[in-house]
Amino acid sequence: MQKNEYKKASVFYLIGNLFNKGFAFLTVPVFTRILSTTDYGIVTTYNSWIGILSMVMGFAIYMGIRAAFIDYTEYVDDFVSVSTTFTLISGGIMCFFIGGGVYLLRINVNLTLVVLCLLQGLASALIQNYSMYLMMQYRYRFRTALMILPNLLSVVASIIAILFVVKTNLYMGRIVPTALITVAFGLITVVLVYAKSKMLFNWVYLKYALAISLPLVLHGIALNILSQSDRTMITWLADASQTGIYSLIYNFSMIATVLTTSLDGVWVPWFTEKLKIRDLKSINTLARDYISLMTYAMVGIMMVGPEIVKLLASSKYWEGIGIIPPVVLANYIIFAYTLYVNIEHFYKKTPYITLNTVIAAGLNLILNYIFIPRYGYMAAAYTTLVSYFIAFILHAHYAKNLEPEVYPLRSFVRPLAHILMTIVIYYIFLDKWCIRWGLLGVYIVLMLIKEWNKIVIFIPALGKISNGERKK
Q: What is the pLDDT of residue 184?
A: 96
In a 10 Å sphere around its CB, with 0-12 CB exposed, 13-18 middle and 19+ buried, how is residue 198 labelled?
exposed
The total number of structural domains that make up the chain:
2
Residues 121 and 239 in one domain: no
Task: Report CA dihedral (257, 187, 216, 386) to the nearest 10 degrees.
Answer: 30
Classify residue 163 by its DSSP letter. Answer: I
Alpha helices (H) in 313-349, listed in sequence order: 324-346
Residue 210 falls within a domain, yes or no? no
Q: What is the pLDDT of residue 23?
A: 66
Residues 247 and 166 in one domain: no
Amino acid identity of 211? Answer: A
Of 156, 173, 201, which residue is a domain's last?
201
Residue 93 falls within a domain, yes or no? yes
Of 150, 172, 201, which residue is a domain's last?
201
Residues 338 and 443 in one domain: yes
Compute the distance between CA of residue 94 and CA of residue 74 in angstroms, rounded to an integer.
32
Classify residue 73 by its DSSP letter. Answer: G
Residue 107 falls within a domain, yes or no? yes
Q: What is the pLDDT of residue 471?
A: 44
CA 183 → CA 59, 115, 150, distances in Å? 18, 12, 10
Residues 246 and 329 in one domain: yes
Residues 260 and 133 in one domain: no
Residues 227 and 193 in one domain: no
**Exposure string for 344-367, b = 16+ CB within 10 A, e = fewer:** bbbeebbebbbbbbbebbebbbeb
Residues 331 and 190 in one domain: no
Residue 168 falls within a domain, yes or no? yes
Asked if residues 216 and 357 have their Cβ atoms less than 8 Å apart, the reply is no
Residue 259 falls within a domain, yes or no? yes
Of 201, 230, 261, which residue is a domain's last?
201
Residues 311 and 428 in one domain: yes
Residue 472 falls within a domain, yes or no? no
Residues 238 and 164 in one domain: no
CA 151 → CA 118, 157, 187, distances in Å? 18, 10, 16
Chunked mean pLDDT (size 10), the chain, 472 residues: 49 62 69 80 83 84 78 85 94 91 82 92 93 77 81 89 85 92 95 91 88 79 77 80 81 71 68 81 84 86 87 80 90 89 81 86 91 88 92 91 88 89 91 88 80 56 49 43
Asked if residues 343 and 399 have their Cβ atoms less than 8 Å apart, the reply is yes
Residue 294 falls within a domain, yes or no? yes
Residues 227 and 172 in one domain: no
Compute the distance between CA of residue 387 and CA of residue 385 in angstroms, rounded to an integer.
5
Range of the domain at 299: 216-466
Residue 156 falls within a domain, yes or no? yes
Residues 73 and 28 in one domain: yes
Q: What is the pLDDT of residue 1?
A: 44
Residues 131 and 222 in one domain: no
Helix (H, G, I), strand (E, B) or coil at 446: helix
Compute the distance between CA of residue 322 and CA of residue 259 in angstroms, rounded to an integer.
23
